[in-house]
A and B are shown apart, each in its own frame.
Chain A
Amino acid sequence: MTDIYTKSQFDNYAELHAHTYYSFLDGVSSPHDMIAEASRLGISSIAITDHNGLYGIVEFSTAARDFGIQAIYGAEISLANSSKRTGLFDPSGNHLVVLAKSPEGYKRLSKAISNANLLGGEKDRPIFTLESLSDSANGSWVILTGCRKGLVPATLVESGPSPARRELEKLIYLFGTDNVFVELWHHFNPTDTYRNDAMVELAYKCAVDVVATSNAHYATRDQYQLAQVLSAIRANCTLEELDGWASPSPTAHLRSPQEQAHIFSRWPRALPRTAELGIECSFDLKLIAPQLPRCNVPYPHTQESYLRELTYAGAQYRYGSKSNERVTGAWKQIDYELEIINELGYAGYFLIVWEIVEFCKSQDIYCQGRGSAANSAVCFALGITRADAVALGLLFERFLSVARDGPPDIDLDIESDRREEVIQHVYSLYGREHAGLVANIVSYKPKSAIRDVAKVFGYSSPDIERWSRAIEHNEPALSDRAYVQANTSDNTSEHTPPEIVISFAKQLIGIPRHLSIHPGGMVICDRSITEVCPIEHARMKDRTILQWDKESVAAISLVKFDLLGLGMLEALHRCVDIISEKYGIDIDLAEIPQEDQVYDLLCNADTIGIFQVESGAQMNTLPRMKPRCFYDLVVEVALIRPGPIQGQAVHPYLRRRDGIEEVTYLHPLLKKSLEKTLGIPLFQEQLMSIAIDAAGFSPAQADELRQAMGSKRSSERMERLKTNLFSGLASNGIIGKDAQSIWDGLAAFSSFGFPESHSVSFAYLVYASAWLKLHYPGAFYCALINSQPMGFWSPQSLVADAKRHQVEVLPPLINKSSLMATLESNLLEAPKLRLGLASIRSIGIELGDALYRNAPYSSIEDIVSRVRLNKDQLEALAESGALVEIEPSRRKAIWSAEPISHYRQDQLPGISTIHTSPQLPAMTTMEKIEADIHNLGLTTGPSAIEMLRPYLKSIGALTSTDLVHIESNQKVLVAGVVTHRQRPESAKGATFITLEDETGIIRATCSVGTWKRYRSVARSHPGLLISGRIERSTPLAIESSPGSLSTPVAINIRVEKISPIRLGHLPSARNFR
């Protein structure tokens, strides 16, 4: 059906009131889609007016530029917003649309939003008042009267024209006659015409102009239903309940100028004025990123000279004096790097990072530079990174070069539980307006989409739980496949949400739900960041974040520092502390020696708890890889990643390492670059050095090539570089097919390459954690357990692994345990680890600490008389067995929990008579296991599988250790608790199931077909019985030959059949993470 209203050509029209999905659940379309639709409709300029923020500004202006549309910048401000926008049908507070007239207006708007947020003091509660807005505006804004909730229209509807006129006059008084406009909109409701008539009359009486908008909350008509779904999500209600609160008219979409001309023909002055205002508010917004702050340097230093001095001092210590350097070329490299750093003006940047690292050192916080910063000798000299870039021959240009886009990237890994101290240090050093954490926009993924959509359609929570669990992948890119899987592989409708839920969930994917904090990014500026981007409070106390995510931040070249939390650094620190405290041995992780036994441990894949190499895939490769030196670890870290696995680099590398395949190079000139990885390219630095060696590129050019290949954005630049590369190759005599295959190789590899420097940084942590596991297993597991949650393995698996390494793990006891797990043994005894009180369900840090400080206790009443506990907490203590010292029967203790929890502190112990318990059956071992797992998340005693072993033996099931003696292709039966279910992208659909029994870990691989057949069992049961065929990395014959008994072997089971074992309450597996 053609619209008669699109037939005639109409003048330009400006859309002055439009929400994108950055109105968080009150808008549906992305800034890009909004602009695209505006362009299709022939709108010449369009405003973005999201609620209380400028979240989408960067995306919006980029899209507007792409489509050749003039962007207008604004926001819809909530006045007197005493409550939050979410969880309510109709959030209170009136609205006001603000549009910036100039760059100054934009700056003032951003500041006004920031101030309101800071004043509100918590997330999503900005405090705006008309008066403060008037001060902020200073004539640089246009004010529209806004939507149904706008001050003037709302007063008109509620109280009539006279009070509404007073409100309008107030706006005029505060913002100026020329800046206030009465907004008309028409959503095809019977009341729209009345209201617009009344508004026009008000405007006439107050002598202000009238403009027309579409007050759009979605780009196209089709998105109306989705908008309602979002509204219901925002109000936390069902669609049925929402009915009557939200507009039922599918009309809040963008309109063409022709449509608007028709709709507003009753008010002929509105449209021309709208178009004029659109032009008045048009300006080219150049968001100019503030510079980095200048560091305070001692007189008479400049930033540059101070950096040089600090670097030299560090170099002196690490490399020795210039005349007598320990690493050849180190000083030359340092001078070269300093020259480039100064040329690019990044001295201040390095000083800022150096200051943060110095702060960490002064506070005894473990931190380490990661990523490409480790390519820099300056970073090494300053103590920012641990990798000696010169000795390792790392390419500085991967980190910083003249040709590089934007500032370098220095990421700092900081031990997780102390990262907050570092962040707060940065806030206090530079000030809240000059520093902010980068936002992370949390968008809908399949699971959350299914959950929220099913909820608004009124489904019950058990259904919703089941459906969201049925989705095995949470990657947005995989959404469609995930749904297909959810739909087809389980035939029972039980696991499949209804069609309507699926269809809306699909539409929801990618729409922002809320703002959270980016895991590390922090921006530091010399002037107030709020001039460019508003800041707001995060959920977490004392944290302020930008309203932009890292893409927006990068788009305007704001310099971002990544301060990342790393669990392993925390664990290492704890471990070193425990060793020092318990054994009196001080360990400097920088000084630990290289030892063969450590590599033996790694070769045997005895790596549970060890950084980076503890995953199933890593454990599977280690026995094939057989690392014997530090650089092997660097390769191992880079090798077992999705990229190289998919790029099929793993097997050739391992074959060459085993001498099965010859090491060859495409051209002799490539040998220098690829020698260290046996001719298989693994690192981004290699890509660069190939370009340097074979095509005569400068290091800077080589980095440009790497960036261009990695981003695949600018095809023009790519063509230019390609031409350069080919001519460079030709001058070295490489032409035709050879040149082409070098190019193809580089292009293929560029997508998965990994910075060598990053691998080096991580390899240090791999070695350090392996060394500690070997020498101090007690302290090592203790530290890991206290650093949870982290790593690949659950606490239960860590405890089981500890036991396999002769570390005794003891349950928490009220009179023996500390708050956290502790080592009870001294250096001469076998390690004994006691779990802490905080590990008990519902106890937590605060209460655990109180319990610990008041210990010992003589009775349960005694506990209650000194520490305030509720019934649940007391019951958890009782059920976990933590009270067996004072009440040997767990069941009696559980019985007493309720009467004693009412026990008053002023009562004398022993007086209570009411808790004498009846005869209760003692807990069976299985019941104890269940109680342990329920209350501690793990059991320290025998595992359920161990209890079942006689039965399992009778049906012929083997243990993990038995499997070592089984030849490839033999059929076996195994049983265990599922610790992981994984389906990595690189596995081509195969599912990896990891089982744990009392002797160790069993890995099994399930083909697509087998998984499909046994899916419902395999996915839902905590304990599985698996039969299948053995796959060994080394044949049994070789392994059992004399003298080579310890040859490492990786064993895998090719699954043929899966059945459940019923074990009661078991720890839950980590599924499809």
Chain B
Amino acid sequence: MATFNPVCYKSPYEGVGDSAKTQLSTFHLLESVDRYLALSCPNLSHADDFGRELRTFQQVVIVLKEFCPFIETIAPGVCALKLRGPSRYFGGEDNLSELIHNRIATLVNAKITDKRLAIDVASISPVRIGIANGLWASLVAINNPRSTVLRVASIELGNYSGITSVVPTDTTSDFLAELPVSLLPNTNIIGTLHKLGINTIGSFANLTTEDVFSRFGKQVLLLHEMAKGLRSEVPGIRHYQKRNTLPPNIQPAKQQDFWGGSDASKERALGSLHKLESILGPEQIFIARLQGGWAPDDQYRFIPWNLQRTLRGSRGKLSSRPVLADKEKPWPGHFTHPFPSLVLVKPVLVHLRSNTQQAITVTRRSMLSDKPADISINGSQWHKVVNYAGPWTHESQWWSKHPKRQAYIQLTASNGCNCLLVFEHKTWFLNSVYD
């Protein structure tokens, strides 16, 4: 399984004290470095478009799962797998990467689009694959295809273009040696390394362990090992798992805190959900969660079950990740008791008119154009308006792609219907019904 084993995070130097030197000399490497295949879709690395890129990338991950059940997502548009099993099964690394390219090319050229999910398979291309000893080296190989050590192959199939950069098994440290230290995933020491005239990963790797320890401290030893090609990775190269609360040795899909516990029945429930998802496809299962909000229909949210564990904190623009609104915030002026007993998911059209049969509207200054006299729900007959309250207006999320500009009124009709109407896009809708 590709997920990181937490044991590796622990420094072998834990507890190194005054007698550092003696301990250092008895130190042995604990990790064997696996071979990795990393795959990146540069076009899908921003994930800022309401999850569109994320969902598109999900299609790539599904394809990869045909080759290996354990795919680890590293960053938006980047994932990786351990090569050992798949490469043996699919006839070697080169064959495997070619098969992967071919398979994704088929997906791309099929031009499948799903408007509802806003998946755009064309944006998957180009695809870059990097193969090397260690996860980090494979990621570096993706982005530095010009290195002389690399074996590079590119592929063009219709609208698809792919490239594979392979670092041969014994040459990972040579490959890394000529690269600049600025690629190291620890930005704190890069400046100092430059000051010291240590400008390549190779010259950093050439420092003795004792020197690295005494100058940079024990935290940097892991990085040093990685630079020497003796370690698969160091913490900090996964872009968003850092902020994820998942325990590291549990597959993301089995997220425990979702159900708030981990007893057997919940495990079983989760299992069923997984089965269901495999039948319906990703993001077809939604769950309702309560959240903070101003209007009744803001105070809950359907979350795609498998999206709630993905992307957090995308780069740049406001992210549209499905994060629940905070219930602890004051939400000034929000709807309180009594709550409607039925909130309509699909709003129903309502007509509201005045005594003079004029359609009622809400002005920009939040006032009703006139007193509502009659109501007709969904084109049915007119009923007298017995009483009403409001309007209550809000304009929120105006900075996002889904601005809300709504006015609500509570209304009792002569047929005894107690309801909440919402005025949106110059139209009245039935929003919810009270008991």
Contacts and interface: CB of A to CB of B under 8 A. Distances in A.
A827 interface: no
Interface stretch (B104-112, B170-178, B322-330, B427-435): B322-330
A459 B317 contact: yes
Nearest to B195: A894
A872 B400 CA distance: 42
A519 B62 CA distance: 65
A539 B174 CA distance: 56
Interface string A1-40: 1011100000000000000000000000000000000000
Interface string A221-247: 100110010000000001110011111
A898 B330 contact: no
Contact of A221 (B214, B216, B365, B391): B365
B393 A1 contact: no
Interface stretch (B159-167, B268-276, B366-374): B366-374
Interface in B288-335: 292-294, 315-319, 325-326, 329-335
Contact of A898 (B216, B325, B333, B395): B216
A723 interface: no
A865 to B, nearest CB: 19
Contacts of A190: 333-336, 390, 392, 408
A475 interface: no
Contact of B332 (A4, A148, A879): A148
Contacts of A90: 330
A894 B196 contact: yes
B196 A895 contact: yes
A915 interface: yes
A240 B321 CA distance: 12
A463 B46 CA distance: 14
A918 B208 contact: yes
Nearest to A246: B332
Contact of B211 (A89, A917, A921, A922): A917
Contact of A250 (B217, B292, B331, B395): B395
A895 B393 contact: no
B370 A4 contact: yes
A918 B390 CA distance: 77
Given A188-B391, A875-B195, A457 B370 contact: no
A914 B363 CA distance: 76
A914 B211 CA distance: 9
Nearest to B207: A918
Contact of A460 (B214, B294, B315, B361): B315
Given A4-B370, A221-B365, A238 B393 contact: no
Contact of B214 (A228, A246, A253, A899): A899
A3 B365 contact: yes
A193 interface: yes
Contact of B333 (A3, A191, A458): A191
B364 interface: yes
Contact of A457 (B214, B215, B399): B399
Contacts of B399: 225, 239-240, 457, 500
Interface in A168-216: 187-193
B367 A262 contact: yes
Q: How would you classify the secondary structure of chain B's contact residues: helix, strand, loop or mixed?
A: loop
Interface in B321-356: 325-326, 329-336
B366 A188 contact: yes
Contacts of A255: 365
A3 B196 contact: no
Contacts of A915: 214
Nearest to B366: A188
A377 B293 CA distance: 72
A225 B364 CA distance: 13
Interface in A892-914: 894-895, 898-899, 914
A249 B396 CA distance: 8
A187 B331 contact: no
Given A250-B366, A918-B208, A243 B396 contact: yes
Interface in A255-312: 255, 259, 262
A251 interface: yes
Contacts of A1: 361, 363-364, 369
B215 A238 contact: no
B334 A191 contact: yes
B413 interface: no
Contacts of B333: 187, 189-192, 247-249
Given A193-B389, A244-B325, A920 B334 contact: no
Nearest to A232: B399
B363 A457 contact: no
Nearest to A460: B316
B397 interface: yes
Interface in B197-229: 197-198, 207-208, 211, 214-217
Nearest to A1: B363
B192 interface: yes
B27 interface: no
B238 interface: no
Contacts of B52: none
Nearest to A923: B197
Contacts of A386: none
A190 B409 CA distance: 9
A997 B394 CA distance: 61
A891 interface: yes
A886 B293 CA distance: 66
A3 B363 contact: yes
A460 B325 CA distance: 22
A927 interface: yes
A823 interface: no
Contacts of B363: 1, 3
Contacts of B365: 3, 221, 253, 255, 259
A247 B216 contact: no
A248 B392 contact: no
Nearest to B396: A248
B215 A898 contact: yes
A957 interface: no
Highest count of chain B CB atoms <10 Å: which of A3, A192, A248, A921? A248
Given A221-B365, A243-B325, A248-B294, A920 B196 contact: yes
A251 B367 contact: no
Contacts of A914: 214
A931 interface: yes
A224 B366 CA distance: 13
Contacts of B398: 225, 228
Contacts of B394: 248-250
B197 A891 contact: yes
Contacts of B370: 4
B252 to A, nearest CB: 25
A250 B393 contact: yes
Contact of B367 (A5, A898, A899, A921): A5
A1018 to B, nearest CB: 27
Contacts of B192: 875, 894, 898
Contacts of A259: 365, 367
Nearest to B315: A460
Contacts of A918: 207-208, 211
A338 B318 CA distance: 68
A245 B316 contact: no
B369 to A, nearest CB: 7
A895 B208 CA distance: 14
Highest count of chain B CB atoms <10 Å: which of A250, A253, A500? A250
23 contacts: A89-B329, A188-B390, A188-B391, A188-B407, A189-B332, A189-B333, A190-B334, A240-B399, A240-B400, A243-B396, A244-B293, A245-B329, A245-B330, A247-B333, A249-B392, A249-B395, A457-B318, A459-B316, A891-B196, A894-B195, A899-B215, A914-B214, A920-B198
Given A3-B369, A918-B207, 16 more contacts: A1-B361, A1-B363, A3-B365, A89-B329, A225-B395, A243-B325, A246-B332, A249-B366, A249-B392, A250-B393, A259-B367, A457-B318, A894-B195, A895-B215, A898-B216, A899-B214
The 4 residue pairs across chains A and B that have the minimum distance between CB atoms: A189-B333, A244-B329, A248-B396, A458-B318
